[in-house]
Amino acid sequence: MPILVMTTPHILRLPVELHLGVIEMLELQDRVRLASANRYFRSITKPPSHIEYLKAEAESWAKDRDLFACSGCIRFRRFQDFSDDMKKGKRTRGGAEAVNRLCLECGVTHGLYVPGSPVVVYGRVHMLCGICGTFPGLATRQSRCVECAPAARFLEASSTNPVFRRYAPRHDGTVRTARVDFDRPPMDELYGNWLDS
Protein backbone atom coordinates (compact mmCIF):
# COMPACT_ATOMS: atom_id res chain seq x y z
CA MET A 1 0.00 0.00 0.00
CA PRO A 2 1.59 3.34 -1.05
CA ILE A 3 1.98 6.14 1.48
CA LEU A 4 0.81 9.55 0.32
CA VAL A 5 2.86 12.51 1.43
CA MET A 6 1.22 15.91 1.26
CA THR A 7 3.56 18.76 0.41
CA THR A 8 1.25 21.67 1.23
CA PRO A 9 -1.37 22.06 3.96
CA HIS A 10 -5.02 21.64 2.97
CA ILE A 11 -6.01 25.24 3.67
CA LEU A 12 -3.46 26.60 1.21
CA ARG A 13 -5.01 24.51 -1.57
CA LEU A 14 -8.23 26.51 -1.37
CA PRO A 15 -8.79 29.32 -3.90
CA VAL A 16 -7.72 32.87 -2.99
CA GLU A 17 -11.33 34.12 -3.18
CA LEU A 18 -12.29 31.68 -0.43
CA HIS A 19 -9.36 32.82 1.71
CA LEU A 20 -10.40 36.47 1.29
CA GLY A 21 -14.01 35.62 2.19
CA VAL A 22 -12.91 33.85 5.37
CA ILE A 23 -10.57 36.71 6.33
CA GLU A 24 -13.40 39.27 5.99
CA MET A 25 -15.49 37.34 8.52
CA LEU A 26 -12.74 37.11 11.13
CA GLU A 27 -12.48 39.42 14.11
CA LEU A 28 -9.42 41.63 14.47
CA GLN A 29 -7.52 39.35 16.83
CA ASP A 30 -8.02 36.37 14.52
CA ARG A 31 -7.00 38.35 11.41
CA VAL A 32 -3.80 39.44 13.15
CA ARG A 33 -3.03 35.86 14.18
CA LEU A 34 -3.71 34.55 10.67
CA ALA A 35 -1.51 37.23 9.11
CA SER A 36 1.33 36.18 11.38
CA ALA A 37 1.02 32.52 10.29
CA ASN A 38 2.98 32.86 7.04
CA ARG A 39 3.94 35.18 4.20
CA TYR A 40 0.99 34.25 2.02
CA PHE A 41 -1.66 35.20 4.59
CA ARG A 42 0.26 38.33 5.53
CA SER A 43 0.21 39.41 1.88
CA ILE A 44 -3.56 38.94 1.40
CA THR A 45 -4.70 40.23 4.80
CA LYS A 46 -5.44 43.94 4.84
CA PRO A 47 -3.75 45.61 7.84
CA PRO A 48 -6.26 46.89 10.43
CA SER A 49 -6.88 50.63 10.68
CA HIS A 50 -6.39 52.65 13.84
CA ILE A 51 -10.17 52.95 14.27
CA GLU A 52 -10.45 49.13 14.16
CA TYR A 53 -7.78 48.88 16.85
CA LEU A 54 -9.65 51.41 19.02
CA LYS A 55 -12.88 49.40 18.67
CA ALA A 56 -11.07 46.14 19.43
CA GLU A 57 -9.34 47.46 22.57
CA ALA A 58 -12.77 47.72 24.21
CA GLU A 59 -13.33 43.97 23.80
CA SER A 60 -12.64 41.56 26.63
CA TRP A 61 -9.68 39.79 24.98
CA ALA A 62 -7.79 43.10 24.66
CA LYS A 63 -8.67 44.11 28.23
CA ASP A 64 -7.52 40.74 29.56
CA ARG A 65 -4.14 41.20 27.88
CA ASP A 66 -3.84 44.92 28.84
CA LEU A 67 -3.56 46.01 25.21
CA PHE A 68 -3.90 49.63 24.08
CA ALA A 69 -3.92 51.02 20.53
CA CYS A 70 -1.09 53.37 19.58
CA SER A 71 -1.88 56.03 16.98
CA GLY A 72 1.78 56.34 15.96
CA CYS A 73 2.69 52.78 15.01
CA ILE A 74 -0.98 51.74 14.54
CA ARG A 75 -0.79 48.51 16.48
CA PHE A 76 -1.52 47.10 19.89
CA ARG A 77 1.05 47.79 22.58
CA ARG A 78 1.15 46.52 26.15
CA PHE A 79 0.01 48.65 29.07
CA GLN A 80 3.58 49.24 30.28
CA ASP A 81 4.60 50.67 26.89
CA PHE A 82 2.67 53.90 27.60
CA SER A 83 3.29 56.77 29.99
CA ASP A 84 0.79 57.31 32.79
CA ASP A 85 -0.67 60.36 31.02
CA MET A 86 -1.53 58.22 27.99
CA LYS A 87 -3.43 55.65 30.09
CA LYS A 88 -5.77 57.88 32.07
CA GLY A 89 -8.21 60.74 31.67
CA LYS A 90 -9.36 61.49 28.14
CA ARG A 91 -6.87 59.04 26.61
CA THR A 92 -8.11 55.98 28.46
CA ARG A 93 -10.08 53.19 26.72
CA GLY A 94 -13.01 54.79 24.93
CA GLY A 95 -11.86 58.28 25.94
CA ALA A 96 -12.40 61.36 23.77
CA GLU A 97 -8.67 61.65 22.96
CA ALA A 98 -7.85 57.94 22.69
CA VAL A 99 -7.14 58.52 18.99
CA ASN A 100 -4.13 60.66 20.04
CA ARG A 101 -2.56 58.08 22.37
CA LEU A 102 1.14 57.39 21.66
CA CYS A 103 3.38 54.68 23.09
CA LEU A 104 6.76 55.68 24.54
CA GLU A 105 8.61 54.68 21.37
CA CYS A 106 6.34 56.72 19.09
CA GLY A 107 6.39 59.62 21.58
CA VAL A 108 10.16 59.79 21.18
CA THR A 109 9.92 59.44 17.39
CA HIS A 110 7.29 62.20 17.10
CA GLY A 111 9.13 64.54 19.48
CA LEU A 112 6.61 64.37 22.33
CA TYR A 113 9.30 63.15 24.73
CA VAL A 114 12.64 64.95 24.51
CA PRO A 115 15.84 64.40 26.54
CA GLY A 116 15.57 66.05 29.92
CA SER A 117 11.77 66.26 30.12
CA PRO A 118 10.17 64.13 32.86
CA VAL A 119 7.89 61.22 31.87
CA VAL A 120 5.88 59.35 34.51
CA VAL A 121 5.59 55.56 34.03
CA TYR A 122 3.90 53.52 36.77
CA GLY A 123 4.11 56.52 39.11
CA ARG A 124 7.90 56.82 38.79
CA VAL A 125 9.52 59.76 37.03
CA HIS A 126 11.80 58.77 34.14
CA MET A 127 13.81 60.86 31.71
CA LEU A 128 14.77 60.08 28.15
CA CYS A 129 18.51 59.45 27.90
CA GLY A 130 20.04 62.17 25.76
CA ILE A 131 22.70 59.80 24.41
CA CYS A 132 21.05 56.45 23.60
CA GLY A 133 17.38 57.56 23.48
CA THR A 134 15.89 55.09 26.00
CA PHE A 135 13.91 55.37 29.26
CA PRO A 136 16.19 53.13 31.32
CA GLY A 137 15.33 54.01 34.91
CA LEU A 138 14.63 56.77 37.33
CA ALA A 139 15.24 60.37 36.38
CA THR A 140 18.62 61.97 36.90
CA ARG A 141 19.62 65.59 36.54
CA GLN A 142 21.87 64.84 33.59
CA SER A 143 19.16 62.81 31.74
CA ARG A 144 21.57 59.95 31.03
CA CYS A 145 21.12 56.25 31.60
CA VAL A 146 23.48 54.11 33.67
CA GLU A 147 25.18 52.70 30.56
CA CYS A 148 25.79 56.14 29.02
CA ALA A 149 26.72 57.94 32.27
CA PRO A 150 30.35 56.68 32.46
CA ALA A 151 31.07 57.89 28.92
CA ALA A 152 29.45 61.23 29.68
CA ARG A 153 31.40 61.52 32.93
CA PHE A 154 34.62 60.84 31.00
CA LEU A 155 33.80 63.62 28.53
CA GLU A 156 32.94 66.05 31.33
CA ALA A 157 36.03 65.10 33.34
CA SER A 158 38.33 65.65 30.37
CA SER A 159 37.83 69.41 30.63
CA THR A 160 38.68 69.58 34.36
CA ASN A 161 41.10 66.70 34.92
CA PRO A 162 44.77 67.83 34.74
CA VAL A 163 45.70 64.69 32.80
CA PHE A 164 43.30 65.64 29.98
CA ARG A 165 43.51 69.40 30.37
CA ARG A 166 46.88 69.65 28.64
CA TYR A 167 45.26 68.44 25.40
CA ALA A 168 42.40 70.94 25.58
CA PRO A 169 42.82 74.25 23.75
CA ARG A 170 43.38 77.34 25.87
CA HIS A 171 40.84 80.11 25.82
CA ASP A 172 43.40 82.70 24.72
CA GLY A 173 44.78 80.40 21.98
CA THR A 174 48.43 80.67 23.05
CA VAL A 175 50.84 77.96 21.99
CA ARG A 176 53.99 76.99 23.81
CA THR A 177 57.19 75.75 22.13
CA ALA A 178 58.52 72.26 22.63
CA ARG A 179 60.59 71.40 25.64
CA VAL A 180 61.57 68.23 27.39
CA ASP A 181 58.70 67.20 29.59
CA PHE A 182 58.69 63.66 30.91
CA ASP A 183 55.00 63.48 31.72
CA ARG A 184 54.00 64.22 28.10
CA PRO A 185 53.71 61.59 25.38
CA PRO A 186 56.67 61.44 22.96
CA MET A 187 54.46 62.49 20.02
CA ASP A 188 53.94 65.94 21.56
CA GLU A 189 57.68 66.53 21.65
CA LEU A 190 58.17 65.10 18.17
CA TYR A 191 55.92 67.70 16.52
CA GLY A 192 57.55 70.60 18.37
CA ASN A 193 54.64 72.50 19.83
CA TRP A 194 51.32 71.91 21.51
CA LEU A 195 48.59 73.93 23.10
CA ASP A 196 49.50 75.29 26.50
CA SER A 197 47.64 73.94 29.50
Strands (E), 26-144: 67-70, 75-78, 118-121, 124-127
Measured from the Cβ of residue 130, the count of other Cβ atoms closer than 10 Å reads 15
Per-residue pLDDT of the chain (197 residues; tens, 9 = 90+): 667 666 666 888 889 999 999 999 999 989 988 998 999 999 999 999 999 999 999 999 899 999 999 999 999 999 989 999 999 899 998 889 999 999 999 998 898 988 877 888 888 888 887 777 777 665 455 666 666 766 555 555 454 544 444 444 444 444 444 344 445 555 544 455 445 54
Any idea where the domains of the chain sit in the sequence?
7-47, 50-112, 113-157, 161-197
* CB-CB contact of 158 with 141 (8 Å): no
Distance in angstroms (rounded) separating the CA atoms of residues 197 and 193 = 12
Q: Is this structure's pTM higher than 0.85?
A: no
Report how far apart the first and last C-alpha atoms of the chain are (Å, whole number).
93
CATH level 2 (architecture), domain 7-47: Up-down Bundle (1.20)
